[in-house]
Amino acid sequence: MTEPRIVFFDIDGTLYTEEMTLPTSAKEAIRELQEKGIHTAIATGRAPFMFETLRKELNIDTFVSFNGSYVVVDGKVIRKKPLDTNTIVSLQKTAEARKHPMVFLDHEKAAADIGDHGHIAESLGFLKVPYPPVSKDFYKEHDIYQALLFCEAEEENNYVDQFDTLHFIRWHPRSLDILPAGGSKAEGLRAVTDYLGYSMNETAAFGDALNDIEMLEEAGIGIAMGNAFQEVKQAADLVTSSVHENGVRTGLERIGLL
């Protein structure tokens, strides 16, 4: 097994507990990795503005955000892959006709196309993110790296079948991430390793959710949290303990980095 030179960490359910707290053991483990000269990075579906405080707390300035659509290495943007505006227009019209609200995000802020909708409030509330301001033309004025579509699972295929240039990733019972086709955390990892001159065999990655599966499969060592979905555990090389039970430190110890 090649020893990792860089380790990627998902946020929700991996670094953060359900209460959106960072276990002390995870923070100390990441500091120890950095002291050993191992590159540390975040890989998340969140927008950069949603985890700026965490980055500063962990002294991490390399990250894969928007599930791979916006990638930064050592503070430098190395990959930007916004959604096509014409496709967003068509998607938003379709969603509006089906009474499915949407949220649009660039790297600095977000906007909803409707105010005070329960599905938006419930889903973003899960992330402890406030309800975005309403701006129906936001996507016409900004590069949109990710959109959120709020619908039930049984309605999802209607969009998947209609928009084959988009990639839909469900992250909440009422919400989907929407990315350019081919977008994934794994693509983001490859962008980082190519830039740094590492191979994918020299990476390790921690995750727990469905949007982590491709990343865990393609990283040199994929580590699923003990609280991960079963499908995620099956995709990983090993399963550590849960986020509440020092899962990050335990995983790093199991692969010999600590």
Taking residues 104-111, report their average pLDDT. Answer: 95
Measure CA 88 to chain center.
20
Given a cut of 90, whether residue 180 has pLDDT beyond it is no
Q: How far apart are CA 56 and CA 219, in angstroms?
A: 25
**What percentage of the chain carries pLDDT values higher than 90?**
84
With vertex at residue 102, the alpha carbon angle to CA 98 and CA 107, rounded to the nearest 5 degrees, is: 160
CB 255 within 8 A of CB 238: yes
Q: How far apart are CA 64 and CA 118, in angstroms?
A: 29
All domains of the chain, ordered by start, with CATH?
6-80+183-254 (3.40.50.1000), 85-180 (3.30.1240.10)
pLDDT digits (tens, 9 = 90+) for 62-89: 999 998 999 999 999 999 999 999 999 9
Q: pLDDT confidence of 1, banded at 50, 70, 90?
A: low
Nearest CA to 182 out of 169, 195, 201 is that of 169
H-run or E-run covering 105:
strand 102-105
CB 146 within 8 A of CB 177: yes
pLDDT digits (tens, 9 = 90+) for 120-148: 999 998 888 899 999 988 998 899 999 99
pLDDT digits (tens, 9 = 90+) for 186-223: 999 999 999 999 999 999 999 999 889 999 999 999 99
Given a cut of 90, whether residue 253 has pLDDT beyond it is yes
Q: Tell me the CA distances in angstroms from 56 to 62, 113, 126, 188, one per residue in order.
A: 11, 31, 22, 21
Given a cut of 90, whether residue 170 has pLDDT beyond it is no
Residue 2 has a pLDDT of 82
Least confident of 74-83, 111-120, 140-149, 166-175: 166-175
- Catalytically active residues are 10
Residue 181 has a pLDDT of 84
Tell me what the pLDDT averaged over the chain comes to. 94
Q: What is the pTM of this model?
A: 0.90
